[in-house]
Amino acid sequence: MAGLDDPFRIDELRASIMGKPALRHFYRATYLKFLACLERCPEQGGVLELGTGGGFAKSLIPSLITSDVIAYEGIDTVADATRLPFHDQSLRMICMVNVFHHIPDVERFLREAERCLVPGGRIFITDQNLGLFSLPILKYFHHEGFDASCTAWRFDSSGPLSGANGALAWLVFRRDKARLAELFPGLRVERVVTHTPILYWLSGGLKRWSLAPSPLLPLLVGLDGFLNRLGSRMGSFLDIEMSKEAP
């Protein structure tokens, strides 16, 4: 198996996403949320996905600019979230799935996003939540870094994928939401929604194994929805939507 930060790992990533029904369902559901968010954006400007990796969002959003900090074959551009290679007010939406917790300096990213977005433009983030199921997984079993007690929204990155803090989205958009509003008054948090208690974990994520075979997918999707309705603490993931205020 190639290393996490190896650009030649792309075929392995694509095979995991497309070859696992539960994981493909998770990504497709996320991309449909990207589309819904796009409908709430201004008409002018580009649409950027950060950390595209092996995803297939462009098949649903043909105008999407795919990007990654790793030079994977088939992506449109190499882009670091903390130094976006785009002009001021040139984007109407920035979206990402399972990328935010890899961004080593959140404040720099948000400043860059605010610079690049047109007024009324939006950011849509799907990332990990500290839920009933996900907290022990992220803290004790997941291969990525995890620190829910840190005060800073940054970390020393060991690599684009190997460097991470799995608690980062929860820290910024849950624990420190007042600080976020103070630091970035021009970026309004429109909604924060929890979802997907167990389906992603059963899929095995981007690893080779899966506990969610195709015949069981409808049952598992239904169970996931039932658990999610029991309360926000059940969700293992967060959807965050932000908008840039008009000057």
- Which domains are present in the chain? 7-244 (3.40.50.150)
Query: pLDDT tens, 157-186?
Result: 877 777 899 999 999 999 999 999 999 999
Query: Which of the 8 DSSP states describes residue 56?
Result: -
Evaluate if residue 241 carries a pLDDT over 50: yes
pLDDT of residue 6: 86
Evaluate if residue 4 carries a pLDDT over 80: no
User: How buried is residue 222: exposed, middle or buried, by Cβ count under 10 Å (0-12/13-18/19+)?
Assistant: exposed
The Cα 4–Cα 161 span in angstroms is: 6
Residue type, 60: L
pLDDT of residue 53: 96
- Calculate mean pLDDT across residues 144-164: 90
Any idea which residue has 């002009």 for tokens?
A: 87
Quick one: what percent of the chain has pLDDT higher than 90? Answer: 91
pLDDT of residue 1: 44
| Sequence-distant (≥ 6) Cβ neighbours of residue 206 within 8 angstroms | 13, 16, 17, 23, 54
H helix or E strand, kind and range, residue 168 = helix 168-170
Query: pLDDT tens, 29-45?
Result: 999 999 999 999 999 99
Query: pTM to 2 decimals?
Result: 0.96
Query: pLDDT tens, 72-128?
Result: 999 999 999 999 999 999 999 999 999 999 999 999 999 999 999 999 999 999 999
What is the residue-averaged pLDDT of the chain?
96
Any idea which residue has 């069981």 for tokens?
A: 216
Evaluate if residue 2 carries a pLDDT over 70: no
Evaluate if residue 63 carries a pLDDT over 70: yes
pLDDT of residue 148: 97
- Calculate mean pLDDT across residues 49-60: 98
- Calculate mean pLDDT across residues 35-56: 98
| Sequence-distant (≥ 6) Cβ neighbours of residue 43 within 8 angstroms | 92
